[in-house]
């Protein structure tokens, strides 16, 4: 079975995570796909496949060759973003010949080159899209499908390989994919997450990340007698946001530039709440951004009275580069495998994060590989059928190369 065929099957399962539930997995529907994946792994021959009590899927393909080689991990996540619907996904395959893509004739929804100029690099390829009303879940079910297909190829062709450890995680999209990850169960020396974009992307730098929750306590009173008495929480919340650096937002940054991003704002006169994420590749700049939030919070409390505004900052993950640079052989091996297949490496910083960031700091160096998709977290998400085939080939090549090289000690 080709990778895209598996992906189309997985895409039909809704698996959106939810940061408000406080459970792991955060949504029960992730467990449905987890069970499907476990059963498929068993059918492939990975008899120890299991779904643990937190919804993580683990499996092992034991080595079939002699010698001391690194045990390699292949990891992808099952959940999808809450930024677009995961219900009633209607996938379609578009033979792309260039120009805008009509996603839904009924609703008049197009994916336009003016909005996504990189569509031109996919001319001549078959693209899987939705009808423009939902995401398709290529982030990261494409990665799962590519790993599964690579395993099938390795087993059917009896390709020499060292130990291959597989894990599919829940709740990556809400930053909790590594919360209950068991390195002992995985049993790998190092790993790759398959969770990137364009074919060839190879990433080992990511944002340092934090969340910020701002709660504003107001005083409500009839507007007819409000003078010198009312304290409008919603207005103060808007004032807080206006005092943050206006250029440091996603819409105005790129590359290594960090940002703060207002995820939501809600409330009224009595109570208001803002939720942010804070991101920067550079640790010093990251700390400065968090300090700016604290400075503005103190200024608001000075203006309106102590206790008016409460700020809760929480670190999420850090830049994996610190760990990967000690273990650059993980990157070099991926580059070498790409070269053998004629895939041009695109080494780029992640303007986001993966499970691999936290796993790297837990002792499992974990660079990120591409899936062949784009426009993640969006109704305009797509993935290339041909790129998915190439990614499965790449994973097989990496595994073959590991089996031909001596074991390298990991430094953490």
**Could you tell me what percentage of the chain is helix, strand and coil, using 3-state DSSP and rounding each to the nearest 5?**
35, 25, 45
CB neighbours of 316 closer than 8 A, spacing ≥ 6? 175, 209, 210, 211, 277, 353
**Which residue shows structure tokens 């995961």?**
86
Helix (H, G, I), strand (E, B) or coil at 97: coil
Greatest Cα pair distance, the chain, in angstroms, is 84
**Distance between CA 296 and CA 294 in Å, rounded?**
6
Helix (H, G, I), strand (E, B) or coil at 134: coil
Helix (H, G, I), strand (E, B) or coil at 176: coil
Residues 191 and 74: beta-carbon distance below 8 Å: yes
Q: How far is CA 236 from CA 37, 261, 291, 305, in A?
A: 48, 18, 19, 12
Reported as half-sphere exposure (CB side, CA atoms, 13 A), residue 287 has a value of 2
- Strand partners of residue 309: 216
**Distance between CA 111 and CA 169 in Å, rounded?**
30
Q: What is the DSSP string of 27-45?
A: STHHHHHHHHHHHHHHHHT
Is residue 191 within a helix (H) or strand (E), and if so which, with residue range?
strand 190-194
Give the catalytic positions in this structure.
79, 172
User: CA 125 from chain center: how many Å?
Assistant: 24
Using CA atoms of 33, 35, 36, 37 in order, give the dihedral in degrees to the nearest 10: 90
Other Cβ atoms less than 10 A from the Cβ of 401: the count is 17
Determine how β-strand 126-129 pairs with β-strand 382-384: antiparallel
- Strand partners of residue 365: none
Phi/psi at 22 (5° precision): 75, 15
What value does the CA radius of gyration of the chain take, rounded to a whole number of Å? 23
Token pair listed for 404: 């031909």
């Amino acid at each position: 079975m080709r990778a895209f065929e598996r992906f189309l099957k997985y895409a039909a399962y809704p698996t959106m995570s939810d940061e408000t539930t406080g459970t792991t997995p955060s949504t029960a529907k992730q467990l449905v796909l987890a069970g499907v994946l476990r059963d498929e792994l068993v059918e492939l021959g990975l008899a120890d496949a299991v779904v643990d009590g937190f919804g993580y899927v683990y499996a092992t393909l034991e080595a079939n060759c002699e010698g001391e080689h690194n045990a390699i991990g292949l990891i992808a996540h099952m959940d999808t973003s809450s930024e677009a619907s995961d219900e009633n996904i209607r996938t379609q395959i578009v033979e792309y010949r260039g120009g805008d893509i009509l996603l839904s004739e009924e609703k008049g929804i197009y994916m336009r080159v003016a909005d996504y100029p990189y569509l031109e690099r996919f001319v001549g390829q078959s693209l899987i899209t939705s009808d423009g009303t939902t995401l398709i879940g290529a982030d990261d079910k494409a990665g799962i499908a590519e790993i599964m297909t690579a395993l099938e190829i390795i087993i059917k062709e009896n390709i020499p390989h060292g130990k291959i450890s597989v894990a599919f995680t829940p709740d990556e999209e809400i930053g909790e994919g590594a919360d209950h990850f068991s390195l002992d169960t995985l049993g790998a020396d190092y790993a790759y997450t398959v969770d990137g974009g364009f074919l060839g992307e190879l990433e080992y730098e990511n944002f340092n990340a934090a969340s910020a929750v701002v709660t504003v306590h107001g005083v409500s009173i009839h507007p007819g007698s409000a003078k010198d008495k009312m304290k409008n929480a919603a207005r103060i919340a808007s004032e807080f946001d206006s005092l943050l650096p206006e250029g440091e937002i996603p819409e105005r940054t790129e590359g290594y530039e960090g940002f703060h991003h207002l995820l939501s704002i809600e409330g009224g006169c009595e109570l208001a709440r803002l939720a942010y994420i804070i991101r920067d590749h550079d640790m010093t700049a990251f700390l400065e951004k968090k300090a700016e939030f604290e400075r503005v919070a103190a200024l608001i409390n000075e203006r309106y009275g102590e206790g008016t505004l409460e700020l809760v900052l929480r670190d999420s993950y850090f830049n994996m580069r610190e760990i990967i640079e000690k273990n650059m052989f993980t990157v070099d091996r991926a580059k070498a495998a790409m070269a053998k297949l004629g895939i041009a490496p695109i080494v780029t910083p992640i303007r986001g994060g993966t499970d691999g960031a936290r796993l790297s700091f837990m002792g499992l160096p974990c660079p990120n590989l591409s899936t062949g998709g784009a426009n993640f977290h969006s109704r305009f998400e797509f993935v290339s059928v041909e790129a998915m085939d190439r990614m499965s080939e790449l994973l097989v090549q990496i595994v073959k190369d590991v089996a031909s090289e001596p074991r390298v000690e990991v430094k953490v």
